[in-house]
Amino acid sequence: MTDLKASSLRALKLMDLTTLNDDDTNEKVIALCHQAKTPVGNTAAVCIYPRFIPIARKR
């Protein structure tokens, strides 16, 4: 594994994806959850309002 690839993978694992907007919807949260899962690994976290946690857990 090259240094660049290793650094990129480490950065991905340290990153979080966040949506804390007043106009968030179930669909936006689902899309964010799908973005958090990549073929090379998942992000560290998905940050959302508590009301969306049940929907995010299903993803």
pLDDT tens-digit series, residues 9-50: 999 999 999 999 999 999 999 999 999 999 999 999 999 999
DSSP state of 23: T
Backbone angles phi, psi at 24, to 5 degrees: -60, 145
The two tokens of residue 10 are 């480490």
Element at 42 (helix H, strand E): strand 41-42
Whether residue 1 is predicted with pLDDT greater than 80 in this model: the reply is: no
Of 59 and 48, the structure prediction assigns the larger pLDDT to 48
**For residue 57, what pLDDT is reported?**
95
The two tokens of residue 24 are 């968030």
pLDDT interval class at 53 (50, 70, 90): very high
- Per-position b or e across 9-40, b if 16+ CB within 10 A of its CB: eeeeeeeeeebeeeeeeeeebeebbeebeeee
